[in-house]
Amino acid sequence: MSRRSGSLVAAGVSKSFGVHEVLRDVHVVVPAGARIGLVGPNGAGKSTLLRLLAGLEEPDAGAIRRSPPGLAVGYLAQERDAGDRSGGEVARAALAAMLDGGFDVLLLDEPTNDLDFAGLAWLEGELARFGGSVVVVSHDRAFLDGVVTRVVELEEWGHGTREYAGGWSAYEAERERRRERHYRRWEGSVAERRRIEEQQRRMVEWERRGYGQGRKKKKSKDVQRTYAARLAKVDVVEKPYEPWELRLELAPSTRSGDAVLRLEGAVVERGSFRLGPLDLGVGWGDRVAIAGPNGSGKTTLLDALLGRIPLAAGERTLGSGVVLGELEQARAALAGPEPLLAAFRELDSETARSLLAKFGLGAEDVLRPARSLSPGERTRALLALLTARGVNCLVLDEPTNHLDVEAIEELERALAGYDGTVLLVTHDRVFLDRFGATRTIEL
């Protein structure tokens, strides 16, 4: 299918929601054939910028330009209504429609959410063959390395952008080099200013005490002017911005018995789908990865292990002292109208607020209706809830969905130090590798 060669440009774009500034004087050029990854922490404005580029929202200042004006731009939203289909089925159908829609530019917001490994390979191949331009927001580091050739970072502090050549790994390495150079320049500037100020202080003191007899005595004002001129020649370098860092702490309150969960001859039926018979035992401290293509029954198996659905045959046994906690794929546990704080009934208000703050949810968030939280905020709130309950058996179904990369890396660190039992379903290849599974169950 022939496509127009053209460009999509955000020219000096700014956008605020009420008093909250999201984007400030943003310039992004999407030329023909571009492969751009849009990155930044949650709340930095990635989805907002995609919606502006798609023409679904208007900027407060600046302009979105299409050249030629008839350039066809397609937009895939992050949240997709699922109905009775699995998240993977919905994602793949939506992506197929986009790829076959005759668009010149694709704007994809978290397209890898819910895709299995086969789906990821399919999408990477389709994008390689796509003749138009692509701008993608994704937390999947391996996907960004395989697809994009340029990274545009949205800055949390300045609300502007920085650009980097290459994929995620190249961006991460260059970002660290830039940061180190900035620190060296800042430290050099501070050290030089301190050196000159110390010379000035000594000179003023010498003149005051009458040192240097036999030479013409300088007035204090002359000394001040001399050193002020020297200071004016020193570059003023702002201290590098230090963003707030998420610090997740996951720890079981008590140890369960050695036997945590067991299925014996278990059969699960959902409509025409049948899983089993299965024999499966999970012990204390196991780190179990559950793998398989979309539709193979991974979430169904989790439901059976959690006792959420009845078994058509066989038995399920929950071990002694097991405190189960789940981060389910739809994040539906925090989708109601009640305030977020109401979900933390185990804790007093002050303790709950303090805990939520550690997960990046401040005073302005805790009284919001839970359903008004973004998917990323709901994920962090649910992780906080699991912490509050002292869960000793974590069940994580696609935990990286909707988290930014910084939060994913912090979750990796927290899980590395968690000594309870973990059952994990994920299609994030880097996250799975760093999880360090002791067992993998293939469906």
- 21-30 in b/e form (b: 16+ CB < 10 A) is ebbbebebeb
**DSSP secondary structure letters along 159-178:** S-EEEEESSHHHHHHHHHHH
Instruction: List the beta bridge partners of residue 65.
Output: 9
CB–CB of 396/414 below 8 Å?
Answer: no
Look at residue 82 in the predicted model and tell me its pLDDT: 62
The torsion region of residue 307 among left (phi > 0), alpha (psi -120 to 50) and beta comes to: left
Q: Tens digit of pLDDT for each residue in 255-294?
A: 999 999 999 999 999 888 899 899 999 999 999 999 988 8
Q: Tens digit of pLDDT for each residue in 108-118?
A: 999 998 888 99
Rounded mean pLDDT of the chain? Answer: 86
Distance between CA 266 and CA 369 in Å, rounded? 39
Helix (H) or strand (E) holding 36: strand 35-39
- 368-392 in b/e form (b: 16+ CB < 10 A) is eebeebebbbbbbbbbbbbbbbebb
> Which pair of tokens denotes residue 441?
């169950």
Residue 377 pLDDT more than 90?
no
**Alpha helices for 210-293 (secondary structure H):** 220-232
Look at residue 414 in the predicted model and tell me its pLDDT: 87
Torsion of CA 270, 271, 272, 275, to 10 degrees: 10
Helix (H) or strand (E) holding 441: strand 439-442
Distance between CA 436 and CA 440 in Å, rounded? 10
Angle between helices 405-416 and 375-388 (to 10 degrees): 20
- pLDDT class of 254 with cuts at 50, 70, 90: confident
- 415-436 in b/e form (b: 16+ CB < 10 A) is beebebbbbbbbbbebbbeebe
Look at residue 212 in the predicted model and tell me its pLDDT: 54
Residue 225 pLDDT more than 80?
no
All domains of the chain in start order, with CATH:
1-242 (3.40.50.300), 259-442 (3.40.50.300)
Angle between helices 168-209 and 220-232 (to 10 degrees): 170
Backbone angles phi and psi of 244, in degrees to 5: -60, 135
Distance between CA 260 and CA 169 in Å, rounded? 39
**Distance spanning both ends of the chain, measured CA to CA:** 38
Q: Tens digit of pLDDT for each residue in 286-322?
A: 999 999 888 888 988 998 999 988 999 999 999 999 9
Q: What percent of the chain has pLDDT over 90?
A: 41
Distance between CA 248 and CA 359 in Å, rounded? 7
CB–CB of 31/7 below 8 Å?
Answer: yes
Residue 2 pLDDT more than 60?
no
pLDDT, mean of residues 28-32 = 94
Q: Label residue 32 exposed, middle or buried (CB < 10 Å: 0-12, 13-18, 19+).
A: middle
CA 410 to each of CA 142, 358, 440: distance values in angstroms, whole numbers, following the listed order? 17, 12, 23
Supply the DSSP symbol for 56: S
